[in-house]
Amino acid sequence: MRRRFVVLTTLTLVALGLLYMTGCGNKVTPPETPPSQTPETELTYAPLPGDTTTFRVRFYWNGYDKDGEVMRFHFAVDEDTLLPPKEWHTTTSKDTSLLFLVDPVLEVGRHVFKIAAEDNDGNIDPTPAVRFFAAKTVPPTSRITRGPASFNPIVGPNFTFEWEGIDPDGGETGGKTPVDSFEYQLLLIGAFKEAGHEPLPRFDERFYVDLINGGTAHAMPAPYDDWKWIGIRSLKNRFRNATPGEYVFAERAVDLAGATEKNLAYGNNIRHFTVSLMNPGPALEIRASVLTLPLPKAIGYNDIPRKPLQIFEGETLSFSWEAKADSYGGEIVGYTYALDDTSTFPGLDLLRTGATFAPSKLPPGSHFLFVRAVDDGGLITNAVIPLTIVHPTFKDPGQPRSILYVDDSTPPGVTTDRTIGVENFPRDIDEDDYWLIDPGILNGLAPVTQWDTAQAGFGEVEGRKAPEPRDLATYTTVIWNVDFQNGVGNPTGLFRTLVGGAYSELSGYLRAGGTLVLSGFLIGGNVINPSTILYANTSRGICLSLEPGTDVYNLAYFPRLMMGVDGAKAGGADLRTAGGKDFIEARPTAVGMAMGLATVEVDRGELGSGAKWIVYRGGEPNANRVPGLVYVDGWVMARNFACTDHPSSVFRLEDDTRPIAEPIFTYHGVRTGVNEDGGASPREGYVVGIRTQAHDVGTQGGGIISRGNASGAMGRMVHLAFPLYFMKTDQAAYLVQVSFDYVNQSPTLP
């Protein structure tokens, strides 16, 4: 029975299926396909509605489709949102970063962002996700780094400006980044750009700063709005063939959001200059091993007339040079040079910034050093340095001893009468007689010739004139007497030759092997510039106070290399309570006594006594008591000769067992106070006399200098901080004799 039931059931189902297939089941239908649904879009991360954010905005979104899948997204910004979504930008990403512009002046801009998903059926979300917000930026800053200077320099028609800028919030993460977009104006004063506009007025700094800062986004304020800002994506602009005239240049930075730099400053962003018909060319500066300062600059194709540099034969001359074209924004592309023959000019080389010439290249006579600098615009500057090589005949074998007495003293006295006001200073002729006329203190030493610096410079703008190398070349010894009247308007000849010029005739003579005895007032103020340096840094000294390689350090070469002095205690205070005018004796050191020196006293006495230095002039005692000489320095010796940290063996010496410079006299003054009953003189015990042995300048290494082996060595020297005229005559004559005997034995002499 059970099997039968199963069979019948099966047959019944088969029969029903056949009926359906043959049309008998037309009352049974499949369900309808549901309509396709549009996707939905949402912003998962974006600025809050109506919020203000930075100009660099990050958006995140997502999309959903109930009956399919999201294939891509359509997005639009600002005006593009008015277009049909099919025309919007598309992306498959779910995030992006966008940069939004702001008002260039207000630095804020309002924006809208919309995003809509598209599904696999091509349906686009009809209700895109939207966000209204404002973008803000911090304006950039910039400055001019190269170009014509601010205060109306004259440049040629070819000039260049360079600049740089920082955007404080332009980086990928909102930090600082260099600006890569700028705008500039080149305003021609007195001109206009478009008809109907007023010409720019005459230059006034305040007016033009306000005008440039007061403009709209892209133009100057009316009525000068025909001058437009010019955009540039570069850090420089070369202007070529500019119309001659007066100009104002301005530049400003523009950030990625379009905001422009504000508060442009004169000098920093704004320059005023005048264009001439031709460029002057680079400014070429030349230095040399024998020069304390650079030579006057050469500018342009034709050099200025130059007086020949007289250099003693035997010097190895090293020259270095550097040119700059900053005044008009140019760049140097190369240098070249030639000695005497310009047909041998080598090619341009930016690294060819110097040359050294051995003595064999510079025989006695005239020579010319030609140096050329060329800029990126092809402008050329030539320098022509004339050289006269002087043979030091005083070194020739058999050359007799001879003295050049340099009278660098112009005492203020004008009468032989010892009257109030001038009684302490002789006439010039009286002092000449003291030195030269029998029984002058130079008598019997060697033949003497006088050089008067005041007479040599009479009628010339420069004033006192020191002897030149050709004037020094025949003399084995120079005895130089200098006074204290060394001022800016009338410097002494000693100051002129040691400090006041690029080349020192006296130091060149000494480097050639000549010898020197130096005496006078205020020696410290005559051998260094500015004169206060030697005095102001007594505690530290010039060796610690001056930076090697600087001009002021180079100008200190005489106290460093030829005296071994590091500082000085000035002797110019006037009041007795301060210890002024107190020098009365130079006392020999052990070294001085070994030379045969003895105490040297000031020849002093009351008015009418016949003394050379009147100790009392009447009147108020504190102001008029003058028991001793004024303007006598007390020197501080350098720990290391020439301020070098190297041992003295780097110098070639005549005696390497002794210091190069040795004190031979010390200062002795009366006690302070009106009645001379106070403390010791402020300069008591300081050095007032030095002897310096023959030596080189420390560039040739160690070794012993001897006769016949003294090439490149300086001769012996004696330096005295006090004037010999005012000392007792017999003592002064003996001191001169001993000093001359010392320098006369220099191994640099034949």
What is the pLDDT averaged over residues 78-95?
Answer: 94
Q: Would the pLDDT of 313 be above 70? A: yes
Burial class (CB in 10 A: 0-12, 13-18, 19+), 621: exposed
Indicate whether this model's pTM tops 0.85. Answer: no
Please provide the DSSP assignment of 339-408 as one string.
ES-GGGPPPPBTT--EEEE-GGG--SEEEEEEEEEEETT--EEEEEEEEEEE--GGGSTTPPP-EEEEEE
d(C-alpha 114, C-alpha 131), whole Å: 7
CATH 2.60.40.10 fits 40-136, yes or no: yes
What is the pLDDT averaged over residues 627-635?
Answer: 91
What is the pLDDT averaged over residues 213-224?
Answer: 87
Of 20-24, 327-331, 599-603, 677-681, the least confident: 20-24
* Confidence band, pLDDT 50/70/90 cuts, at residue 157: very high
Q: Would the pLDDT of 102 be above 80? A: yes
Bridge partners for 132 per DSSP: 112
What is the pLDDT averaged over residues 419-434?
Answer: 77
d(C-alpha 563, C-alpha 717), whole Å: 8
What pLDDT, on a 0 to 100 scale, did the predictor assign at position 422?
A: 60
d(C-alpha 634, C-alpha 202), whole Å: 59
d(C-alpha 560, C-alpha 548), whole Å: 12
What are the structure tokens assigned to 688, written together? Answer: 């007032």
% of the chain beyond a pLDDT of 70? 92
Q: Would the pLDDT of 420 be above 70? A: no
What pLDDT, on a 0 to 100 scale, did the predictor assign at position 171?
A: 84
What is the pLDDT averaged over residues 667-688?
Answer: 92
What is the pLDDT averaged over residues 592-616?
Answer: 91
What is the pLDDT averaged over residues 142-167?
Answer: 93
Q: Would the pLDDT of 622 be above 90? A: no
Q: Would the pLDDT of 245 be above 50? A: yes
Class of domain 285-390: mainly beta
What is the pLDDT averaged over residues 667-683?
Answer: 91
* Confidence band, pLDDT 50/70/90 cuts, at residue 13: very low
What pLDDT, on a 0 to 100 scale, did the predictor assign at position 700?
A: 67
d(C-alpha 500, C-alpha 497), whole Å: 6
What is the pLDDT averaged over residues 104-114?
Answer: 88
Q: Average pLDDT of the chain? A: 89
What is the pLDDT averaged over residues 463-473?
Answer: 95
DSSP state of 680: -
> Could you tell me whether strands 177-178 and 40-45 are parallel, antiparallel, or unpaired per DSSP bridges?
unpaired
Q: Would the pLDDT of 12 be above 80? A: no
316-363 tens-digit pLDDT: 999 999 999 988 989 999 999 999 998 888 899 999 999 999 999 999
397-408 tens-digit pLDDT: 999 999 999 999
Q: Would the pLDDT of 6 be above 50? A: no
Q: Would the pLDDT of 236 be above 50? A: yes
Q: Would the pLDDT of 18 be above 60? A: no
For residue 40, give the nearest of 65, 67, 14, 71 by alpha carbon: 65
Cβ-count burial 289-299 (b if 16+ within 10 Å, e if not): ebbbebbebbb
Contacts of 110 (CB under 8 A, 6+ apart): 132, 133, 134, 135
What pLDDT, on a 0 to 100 scale, did the predictor assign at position 648?
A: 56
Structure-token match 């001659």, residue found: 244
Structure-token match 């970063």, residue found: 97
515-547 tens-digit pLDDT: 999 999 999 989 997 667 788 766 688 988 888
CATH architecture of 141-275: Sandwich (2.60)
* Confidence band, pLDDT 50/70/90 cuts, at residue 571: confident
Amino acid residing at 454? A
* Confidence band, pLDDT 50/70/90 cuts, at residue 201: very high
d(C-alpha 508, C-alpha 521), whole Å: 23
637-666 tens-digit pLDDT: 998 899 886 655 588 999 989 999 999 999
What pLDDT, on a 0 to 100 scale, did the predictor assign at position 104?
A: 79
Q: Would the pLDDT of 7 be above 60? A: no
Count other C-beta atoms under 10 Å from residue 233's C-beta. 9
Structure-token match 């006399």, residue found: 689
Three-state SS for 571? Answer: coil
pLDDT greater at residue 202 or residue 50: 202
Residue ranges of the chain that CATH labels 2.60.40.10: 40-136, 141-275, 285-390
* Confidence band, pLDDT 50/70/90 cuts, at residue 9: very low
Burial class (CB in 10 A: 0-12, 13-18, 19+), 82: exposed
